[in-house]
Every structure is written in structure tokens, then in C-alpha cells.
């Protein structure tokens, strides 16, 4: 049997989860989607490691399983988009408006956030910009042509620095907050992909008994493959996570510390090492499971998770449609706990999601003209969506809550390419890092706070 599984070419893996509790619709959504996405990745392992497929057949099996529908194709981002992009969101409601534009270039570590708010005839706008070393802020209606700056490359002990530190925000790591996750994301992401592969390459696979699955209305016996999931498997992956973050621990530390301090959650890890320790503790509680997965017509037909500790069996059935994951369901001990029902009529694509028998979300998309509709628990959004360079653009035409239709319209846009905004430095420039309390009080007294007061009221 070992020779059946010696072609370690490429793979990925997952961590099984339990079914949702009664009444926890949102939890059910996350669990259902997470279980399917994770288990699909795991199923790739057997395909990649078993000797029954040639290398040329491996990619189509995985791609055919997770192939996106028309809507997901529209909103997919290209890898190049994440290297330099611009994200815009704007909206209007009853004469009030807000506009935000975030732009990032990972190559230069430059970014900017531009905001514009208009409420009750009052306008307030501002720009936050960073070049990777210095962070700058300007709000013209309050500061005029003056601006703040903060140099992250030097020691800073000013009044504002201390004030924010007391709130759990370390300004010395501001560029790590602003730039770190973006510039490090692609490297760590690729490393984590390899981490999955390295972990799953170490597992042992064997054939499982054939099992009947129904795909596209046809019931067939499908060949299965399985591997054992336990504490050792989790610890192997944790070891790989540590390797993946090597050299990027500072970025992880900065974010974990900020989240823990701002959330006031005493159980939240404040450093990467603490997070790893908590993961290892959690791994001790892992159940012993057998994970089996099955193939039909060059794509997955089902996954069975046998929890030997709880004596429970969970199953994911891929029922097919225009794409294999158009219709699928998550079953626990014979009961369907999560389900997606999808269909395409003409150019109208519909997807409905259910937790047990309750519909929690519905999406309708006409790929001929971009008409889009979301509905969930008394909420409804209508608009048009189109693909644009490296991203997408969504125009929101109407929003309905219950029986009330709101006069709302807006735009959400993501596109490749950065449009970094800059701060007007023609006025006085104040160093946040060294500013004392008396200096700040004097500066505060000369600001025009009328616009801010009007907005606050």
C-alpha cells in the first residue's frame, strides 16, 4: 500500500470542526463553509499522494472541485492586485455622505487613507499617509495647512505617545501596523501554503472502502482514501507555522499586542510565542479522527469525518451543478446541519444557504448585466457588479430593512494599482513623537474645532 502513496507532489490540509448548535445561525454558516473549504483542501492530499493519478490529472481534480461560479469569478482578485491596489467605499443617505479610499504599494511600503465626510452641511476630510518610515496626518478643516508627523525610526516619548500607550497602542510600531501585514502578507501566505504541504506530506494514507455518492443526479460507488487526524498532526503543522513566520514575528507581535490591548481580552495572546503556546495547549484536546475522501469524474464527491473520541460521523456531500460546489451539504450523525443550494436559469445564478432547515442567506446574480441581490433575515441589498482590472466594482442601488426601503446608494471598488495620496506640508509640521503636553494644549487651542463639533452633535 505504501507504494500507492509515494508521489509527494503537492498538497494542502485542514482541521475538522463540529456541527453548529441549535439557533446559532451565524456560527453554523462559518462552521459549514469552513468545514467544506478545509476538507476540500485535505482531499487534495490523497489525490496528490496516491499513485492512481498521473501528475497531469492532479490539478484538474482540485480545480474542478473548487471551481468558482460566475459571481465568485467576478469578485476574484489577481495575485498582482495585492501587491499594489486601491480600495474605495462611498455612500449617500438622505443628503449625508461618506467616502473612504485606501491605497497600498507593498514594493515601496507606501500607503494612504483618504476620508471625506459630509453631514448636515458640514464637511470634514483628512489624509493619513506613510512612506514606510514616517507617518503623516492632516485634517484641513481643523488644522488648516498644518500637519502631524511621526518618525518611527527614532526613539519617541512625547505626550501623545504616552497617552496612546496607556490605551494599548504603541506608536513606535505604527508602520508595522500600517505596512507590515500588507508587505509581509504574500510572503507569509506562500510560506503557510508550503507549511500545509509539508505537514500533509508526512502523513500516511490508505485506501478506504468505496462509498455511494450522488453527483449531478447520478449515484455511483466512489473510491476513497483516508488518513488519521490527531494531536501529532496538529503539532506537526504548528511546527511548520513557526517556520513560516520566521523573520516576521515582529509583525505578528505588533498586531497580537494591539488586538489584545484594545479588546481588553485577558485571554488574547499578546505575542507570537504566546499564540503558539496556546495552540499547542489546544492541540492536546484534539480528537482522534479518520478523514476519508472520495473522487467522482475528476472532482470530489464526498468527505467523511469519523470522530472516534465522540463516536460521531460527519459527512460533506458534493452534489454538483454548473460547478461541483453549486450544491453541497454538511451532515452530522445523519442530520443535515448546513447546506448550499445553487442553480442557474438562463443567465440568472442563485445560491441559497441553510443552517438545518432555516435559510440564512440568498444571493442572486445575473451575469449578463451584473444585476445583484443579497438578502438575509429581513435585510435586502440590490445593485450591479462588474469585474475591473484586478478586482471588481459594486454599485449599490437600494437597501431594504424589513418593509422599509432606505434611500441609500454607494460604490465599493477594488482595483489593481496604487494611488497614494500625500499630505500638504506647506504649513507647520508638528512631531507627535516629541511633542510635550503644554505644546499640545497650545496647538489644540488654536485649532478650529467647529466642523468636528458639528459632526459629533
3-state secondary structure the chain: CHHHHCCCCCCCCCCCCCCCCCCCHHHHHHHHHHHHHHHHHHHHHHHHHCCCCCHHHHHHHHHHHHCCCHHHHHHCCCHHHHHEEEEEEEEEECCEEEEEEEEEECCCCEEEEEEEEEECCEEEEEEEEECCCEEEEECHHHHCCCEEEEECCCCCCCHHHHHHHCCCCCHHHHHHHHHHHHHHHHHHHHHHHHHHHHHHHCCCCEEEEEEEEEECCEEEEEEEEEEEECHHHHHHHHHHHHHHCCCCHHHHHHHHHHHHHHHCCCCCCCCHHHHHHHHHHHHCCCCCEEEEEEEECCEEEEEEEEECCCCEEEEEEECCCCCHHHCEEEEECCEEEEEEEEEEECCEEEEEEEECCEEEEEEEEECCCCEEEEEECCEEEEEEEEEECCEEEEEEEEEEECCEEECEEEEEEEEECCCCCCCCCCCCEEECCCCCHHHHHHHHHHCCCHHHHHHHC
pTM above 0.85, yes or no: no
Q: pLDDT value at position 92?
A: 93
Of the two residues 246 and 251, the one the predictor is more confident about is 246
| pLDDT, tens digit (0-9, with 9 covering 90-100), for 328-355 | 999 998 999 999 999 999 999 999 999 9
Q: pLDDT value at position 385?
A: 96
Would you say residue 21 has pLDDT above 90? Answer: no
- Mean pLDDT across 4-8: 31
Q: pLDDT value at position 287?
A: 93
Where is average pLDDT lowest: 50-64, 284-298, 392-406? 50-64
- Mean pLDDT across 55-67: 63
Q: pLDDT value at position 373?
A: 97
Q: pLDDT value at position 34?
A: 44
Amino acid at each position: 500500500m505504501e507504494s500507492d502513496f509515494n508521489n509527494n507532489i503537492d498538497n494542502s490540509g485542514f482541521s475538522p470542526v463540529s456541527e453548529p448548535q441549535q439557533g446559532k445561525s451565524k456560527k453554523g454558516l462559518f462552521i459549514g463553509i469552513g468545514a467544506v473549504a478545509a476538507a476540500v483542501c485535505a482531499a487534495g492530499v490523497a489525490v496528490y499522494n496516491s499513485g492512481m493519478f498521473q501528475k497531469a490529472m492532479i490539478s484538474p481534480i482540485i480545480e474542478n472541485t473548487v471551481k468558482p461560479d460566475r459571481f465568485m469569478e467576478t469578485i476574484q482578485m489577481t495575485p498582482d492586485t495585492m501587491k499594489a491596489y486601491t480600495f474605495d467605499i462611498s455612500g449617500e443617505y438622505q443628503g449625508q455622505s461618506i467616502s473612504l479610499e485606501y491605497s497600498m504599494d507593498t514594493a515601496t511600503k507606501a500607503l494612504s487613507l483618504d476620508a471625506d465626510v459630509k453631514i448636515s452641511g458640514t464637511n470634514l476630510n483628512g489624509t493619513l499617509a506613510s512612506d514606510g518610515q514616517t507617518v503623516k496626518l492632516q485634517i484641513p478643516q481643523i488644522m488648516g495647512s498644518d500637519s502631524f508627523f511621526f518618525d518611527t525610526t527614532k526613539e519617541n516619548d512625547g505626550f501623545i505617545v504616552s497617552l496612546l500607550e496607556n490605551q494599548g497602542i504603541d506608536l513606535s510600531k505604527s508602520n508595522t501596523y500600517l505596512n507590515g501585514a500588507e508587505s509581509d502578507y504574500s510572503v507569509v501566505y506562500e510560506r503557510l501554503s508550503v507549511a500545509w504541504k509539508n505537514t500533509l506530506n508526512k502523513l500516511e494514507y490508505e485506501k478506504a472502502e468505496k462509498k455511494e455518492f450522488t453527483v449531478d443526479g447520478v449515484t455511483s460507488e466512489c473510491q476513497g482514501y483516508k488518513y488519521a487526524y490527531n494531536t501529532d498532526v496538529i503539532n506537526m503543522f504548528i511546527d511548520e507555522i513557526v517556520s513560516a513566520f520566521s523573520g516576521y514575528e515582529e509583525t505578528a507581535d505588533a498586531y497580537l499586542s494591539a488586538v489584545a490591548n484594545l479588546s481588553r481580552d485577558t485571554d488574547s495572546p499578546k505575542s507570537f510565542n504566546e499564540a503558539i503556546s496556546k495552540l499547542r495547549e489546544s492541540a492536546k484536546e484534539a480528537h482522534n479522527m479518520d478523514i476519508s475522501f472520495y473522487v467522482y469524474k475528476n472532482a470530489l464527491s464526498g468527505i467523511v469525518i469519523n470522530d472516534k473520541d465522540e463516536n460521531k460521523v460527519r459527512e460533506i456531500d458534493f452534489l454538483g451543478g454548473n460547478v461541483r460546489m453549486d450544491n453541497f451539504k454538511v451532515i452530522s450523525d445523519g442530520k443535515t446541519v448546513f447546506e448550499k443550494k445553487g442553480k442557474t436559469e438562463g443567465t440568472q445564478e442563485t445560491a441559497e444557504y441553510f443552517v438545518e432547515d432555516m435559510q440564512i442567506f440568498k444571493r442572486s446574480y445575473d451575469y449578463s448585466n451584473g444585476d445583484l441581490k443579497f438578502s438575509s433575515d429581513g435585510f435586502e441589498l440590490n445593485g450591479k457588479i462588474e469585474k475591473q482590472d484586478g478586482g471588481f466594482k459594486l454599485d449599490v442601488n437600494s437597501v431594504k430593512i424589513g418593509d422599509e426601503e432606505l434611500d441609500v446608494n454607494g460604490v465599493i471598488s477594488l482595483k489593481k494599482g496604487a494611488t497614494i495620496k500625500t499630505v500638504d506640508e506647506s504649513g507647520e509640521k508638528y512631531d507627535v513623537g516629541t511633542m510635550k503636553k503644554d505644546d499640545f494644549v497650545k496647538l489644540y487651542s488654536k485649532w478650529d474645532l467647529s466642523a468636528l463639533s458639528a459632526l459629533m452633535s
